[in-house]
Amino acid sequence: RSVHNALEKHRRAQLRCCLERLKQQVPVGAGTARSTTLSLLHRARLHIQGLEEQELRARRAKDRLRNRQWSLRRQLELLLSPVGGERARADSLDSQLS
């Protein structure tokens, strides 16, 4: 019986420690008077969802920038190549004359 009590006491202490670490990581919401375990877990879930949305937006922006970089590099290669550059300039002149 005393072994069980000691294990339970250790488990609760470990849980408290984990909740304290979580509390340090999660931003405090406006109007948060008393932080219950439930409210802390709810805020943590919302915070994680916000971070996931932010990561998704960043990945999409990175993909757009990578595509733009590829396109610009391709244009640069065409302009710098001896045959492609002449053709690109000729195409450019033709479009300006039209």
Report d(CA 52, CA 46) in Å as an integer.
10
pLDDT in tens, the chain (98 residues): 899 999 999 999 999 999 999 999 998 876 666 779 999 999 999 999 999 999 999 999 999 999 999 999 999 999 998 875 566 555 665 655 55
What is the distance in angstroms between the CA of the first residue and the CA of the last residue of the chain? 94
Cα distance between residue 78 and residue 84, in whole Å = 5
Domains in the chain, CATH or no CATH each: 2-97 (4.10.280.10)
In this predicted structure, what is the pLDDT of residue 83? 74
Write down the pLDDT at residue 35. Answer: 79
Rg of the chain on CA atoms, in Å: 29
